[in-house]
Structure 1
Amino acid sequence: MGAGENAGTARGQAAEVIRDFLTREYAGLIDLGDMHQRSTFESEQVFASRALAAVSLQLLTGCSPDEAAASITDGRDDQGIDAIGYSSSAPDLWLVQAKWSDKGTAGFGVDGALKLLHGLRQLDNRDFDRFNNRVQRHAARVRDILESPECRVHLVVAVMGEQATKEQARRLIEQAAADFGSEVECHVLALPDFHSAAHQSSLPRSVELAATLPGSWLARDFPHRAVVGLVDAGEVALWYEEHGARLFDRNIRNPLGMTPPNLGIVETLRAAPENFWCFNNGITVLCDSIETEFFSRPVEGAPVRLRLTGATVVNGAQTVASIYYAHDMYPENVVRASVQVRFISLANAPEGFARSVGVATNTQHHTGSRDFVALDEVQGHIRDDFRTSLDKEYVFRRGELVPTPAAGCSVEEAAVALACGHPDASLSALGNASTERLWEATSEGAYTRLFGRQPSALQIWRSVLLLRAVREALHELRPRLNGRSAAIAERGTLLVTHLVFRLRGAEGIDDPDAEWEQLLDEVPGLVRSVLAALIPLVDDLFGRNSFVATTFRETGRCHQLAEAALHTLADVERTPQLVVASPPKPRRRPGSARLLVAHRRILDGTQVLYQPGSVEEAAIGHWLDEDPLRYLATWNNDARQPLRWAADGSLYSINGLIRHIWQRADWREAWSAVQGPRYWVVPGEGSLSDLAEALWESEALQDAEVPQDTGE
């Protein structure tokens, strides 16, 4: 047997191990309701592919098998997206495409890359009606994440092969990431990754760590054995490289990726590694036991290596992962950094102690640029101005109770409103990218440009009112906009507000005698005009395939759009009109009986079996057992009365026959709601509900016009 044959055999064996692992993890969890009409082989292949997508999310996000299985969107009209997942504590969106091969030879080419990118663009354009029901179930969550200024998109390629991506496909994905912005990350998982996961799943979950403390460390034995000291950052990077997400089994969250705070950690490690231990809050590690190995004299503070069993990082997951990422990019810098680590042994600790430590160490508040605003005396002057001149409240310290909209506003709302009202459209882009960027207090920073010369309370309040009016007008319009137009209205809120300011709002904003209420009355009409100009300009300037989310986060694009829109709106005679329409009504799934009869899915005379649920079985099972005919019916292709009950020979509707059975059995505590199609089963094929759902998702049903029905 040649080397190639040996390699092929090894790949096939690895694929078998992985399939067994996927079956153990996901059997009964992966939805295969659309596979009833497929062969056993096809169903097994689809299961493997979907389970591969699920385990990819589990490995990358730390979600449970149930959550991973519920994320599967694979099927007709998935638009290239086999699974959609989320991060638990950040606005991160994970889009997976999986390729399975029994031989371990699957690849990822240009076609797969184009499909995945097409799906991302459809989501970015809010074209949810083009997706299947599985994707549409995620629509609200996806929309919320994409609207977040801190949104990050992760494109995941999961391939049952050793060569995960062809170079051209990789370049396509990387180009898309560049087009969408720095908020896109690409992840490739291949056969070795899944084989390692399958192998690890059969091993003990205990994590063993080594930590070297070169000196000046402290130890105590009461009430729990603990050691505190500085550890080289390079050694911490090795922890994550070896153990990955297993380090955080008891943490409330896994690493969140390169969020702004984590990027700050990486930047500190690059620019000032020697001072990293001063700037960072440190790491807390719980473990089952701590053993010490001294390099010289066994005294406290002397160089020592700790051996930790059953270790887990309960606080500092972001620090650990960021150190790992920084080490990958700037290894020569990271090895010069140290980080403070607390090691606490759980030996003899009371029940619940580990959880208490995890909760306590993760409920400390992060201090960022936003918090330092409270130290700026300008904010106190603005608060006083609000009270004396407007009789309204203005809050600027984090944690203060935000006033009701009529009673005042917060510094966050004020900053966004002032950014929209600034003559430079790029500030609205900063607000879209991340509100954290509005607090940069450098000489050219956004905070300095907004608050450096103290704005009056009247200017701030009127700016806030205008922003609220624009948001309300867009809220009214959005249901009448579809797809890409709706996405532009959602993501372009701040630029639309900026343009309304430029058209009407800047003049007289701090003049007490200005007719400001009249301007607010004009806002709905102005918003329609601005959107009418803006929507086609996005495509004209940046192309139909441009990402909407990126467009309104980039300062250069926002400036270009603003100037072009103002030029268009200046020509009154040629000002475009906004075309709106009622949103298309979602197609309503007809009743199961109507579907099954319309497609003649079940032959007349086919036996149908009543399989009651556990509660029904306990309540009326004894009555059903008295006459086996009470369990049986035959199918009759009549949408109104498709079941002929074997016990009396009469025709009933699907739900009607169950109600009749409950009545005859004298079940007085029976439910008012009936889900009959789930409990009438065609032996060997599935429930009436399953059969109807398969029809609904089939190609034939998409082209057929089936009358809708309100009942079974």
Structure 2
Amino acid sequence: MAKSVQGMPLEVRQVREALLREFADRVSMEDFEKKDPKERETALLSRAVSAKAARILTHCTSDEAAAGVIDGRDDFGIDSVAFSASGSELWLIQAKWKNSGTAGFDTEAALKLIHGLKKLDNRDLDHFNERLRLLGDRVHGVLKLPTCKVHLVIALMGDGRLSPETRNILDEAARDFGGLGRTVEYRVVDQADFHRAIREDLESEPITLTAKMTEGWHDRETPYKAIVGEVSAAELARWYADNDERLYDRNVRKSLGLTGVNKTLVDSMLEDPYGFLYRHNGITVQCDTIEREFFAKRATGAPISLTLHNASVVNGAQTVTSANRAFEKDPDAVAEAYISVRIVSIQGTPEGFAQSITKATNTQNHMERRDFIAIDPVQSEIQKDFKLSLDKEYVFRRGEMDPAPESGCSVTEAATALACAYRDPTFAVRVKGSTEALWKEGADGAYTRLFGQQPSAYQIWRSVQVLRAIRDELTKLRSTLSGRAASIADSGALLAAHVVFQRIGNEAIEEPDSDWDMILRDVPDQVRIVLACLIDMVDKLFTNKSYITSTFASEEKSRQLVQAVLLTLDAGSSTPDLSAFVTAASKKRPKRPPTVHLLVDHDLIPDGTPLAYAASDTEERAIGAWLDQDLRRRRATWLNDRKAPILWEADGRRYSPSGLVNHIWQQAEWREQWSAVQGPKQWRVPGEGTLVEIAERLWRRLDTEQEPEEDGRS
């Protein structure tokens, strides 16, 4: 088990964070207001453990579990009380918390718990605390029943092993109390149980789908169950309407929004619904089990209704989403369109079979290498770790909207940060060329090296925070530079980030209890030092006539640079101050072309790239509620067209960036809207910046990387 500082195992840390989120504001801690914060937290966690045990055992709500906590003075070994819905069962819970995950339950604790049971059975409530007395009537209502059942629960943040002496005490109590229909039994809820419970809390409810096949179908029973037939597009539209993007949880990606391909699907269903079946490849659904219900005759091909338990569309997300969009426009037309549907039951299939089906069937829309990492279990485990350890979001399927920067990150941002933090600069160099390099698998592949041994949520999130701080500082510094120094700042950004990561060190990033705030505050200073040394070292190693772009595209030269910069900085050798490279431009810069022209002419953003509306704080206050009424209003797709490069998901029409922003303001009836519209600043590519920022980076590169001789510094 991976451990963090102070001996706290990862599982314990995740349980701790989950308990605090669930019960910190629910469990009463009035008796600890004036006590040491550490003592207070330990008591809170112990009480939260007892409440969580109640939830696990009785399936009550969090509020009900917290209301049953009686831990404190005069609790007589009972930390929490819980009841069955029928009122015939009673749970008496004693909890133990230890940060090390080694909490135990000895004979003294067992005797104390038994003593508490006896006092309750004798109706001796006078010496109990007020919290128990408030529950007294309900407790006695259970105990007076001739067939009551009492559960003694030991809730431990530990392995749950009890000594033979302890078990004897509990067994004897069960014999003494039981008889004539009354029973007492005991059980342990241990660390593994708590960790399993908090992970299950993250799981979404299984989806059940109904598929009616009235136009014929055929099935296969061996080696695995599968049914192939035709389903109305209207029924697929209802699947999406009822379940939204959850429908694709096992797919390699979510719906990609209203891309050019998907708009064609919508138009095709509406314009020629009868011919849609012949032009479309069909979809694939995986499920655990399939229930059949014939309408009349029980025969292969006869009309049938199928119930698919724990189902997911693993190929065809764009088709199903498009069916829903078409249905919203013309339900009657879509009802006439049919789609070939293949349903595969994964019950009894070998390990890896479901993932292989998902990977093999995803070929209809353009597939990127990144899409297939979505079926790597490591990614879903990281997503859970983010939620459990940090209460933040981590998205890894293409088509999912990136979370707000303070709320989490995407797998692309995470992988880029991990690539920069990796001990060898190779991946930082490759990523600069293309983010596709992040997803290569194999012995020398970035994905295998970065995610093969699952990185923790702390490691990823802190790496992302560092990379963001580095980029912010480099953006500020870049505006003060010109010529060759500016070109190095642009082309060497990720290599500079790699050096900063090496100077911070893995230990500071991976240990949850390091002084992280101080480390993060020091990043801008590190960036300035590293960048100055990097600029100086390029000329020392490769002369001031070297080509910047090719230098930073070379893995070998980048290794030399990193080694030289680290040795220089570690030795404390004097390096130029960054101000030495701040010079005025020696000639008038050519006029920068319009943002859209620049992006389209250089084909910088691929067709179909998702865009998000980057609303300002003022806009959020004015029209945020209107935007949130239909999240498609915040989404669009990029098309490489000079006049109308944005396809708005809300209506399927094409606009210029400013034209769409103005249209949104009018639709939202924002009467105090600004007179000036700056559309390219208000649409962004998630993880890469606004259209203006992307275009500006391109222009700087074009402007500063022409000829090395243009710079006057020698």
TM-score when normalising by structure 2: 0.31
